[in-house]
Structure 1
Amino acid sequence: MALLLAVTALPTAQAETPSGGREAPVAAFDGLWCGTGLLHEFSLQLSQQQQDVQGTLVRRERRRELEGRVEGATLHTQATRHGSLVLERAGDKLRVTGGDGLLAMARGATFQRASGAACTG
């Protein structure tokens, strides 16, 4: 219990800007995310090192590697031949808020944080 209280008392991590000021806290995108609705066949496994994110978008046997950067609660993936994504984190959901190419067609769709080690959709 004391450890839990100590962890919750720690200040929120903030990155310094080049001008020496502080940015908004960086949201955590680590983990497995499962597509919902039209994206129910998709899963998104993300690994985060501060603001840099790497991941794999999977649908059936197809895998697409992603790289991106976090700004606050928004993840911007780099463009690939299939396009790019802009994902906004809100609690246990990632909402596709933008992008380009084929991936942009998913705008408005969401991923839900997995409750286990795999997606069941």
Structure 2
Amino acid sequence: MSGIRFSKDHEWVKVDGDVATIGISPYAQEQLGDVVFVDLPAIGKKVEKGKELAVVESVKAASEVYAPVSGEVVEVNDALGDAPGTVNEDALGKGWFAKVKMSNKAELDGLMDDAAYKTFCANSH
């Protein structure tokens, strides 16, 4: 399974083995505006699909980032502490939030591929 998958809450997941890298979609960061702060989870934190993983604050609002998969946080993007704007500049790359060792890979089946996500975004206005 290659490529990026998306949740209905506008998070993305890129899987490498049993580790999922998670961030927010370009659509989400556009809606938020300029990101000024990211509150990342602690390494070792157990996360549940659909529950809060992180918080992102922008000039417009603070928003929860929900875990699109369940598991344990194994790495966080500490660079966002000094450069939260990276989320705006490279949402699908350097703007990732956390890496989670998945406890249930079957949860990936409920996520959308790029084409389905674009349709979802176009219809959610």
TM over 0.5: no
User: By percentage of residues, which structure has more helix?
Assistant: 2
Higher relative CO (Cα under 8 Å, sequence separation at least 6) belongs to: 2
Q: TM-score, normalised by structure 2?
A: 0.30
- Which one has a bigger Cα radius of gyration? 1
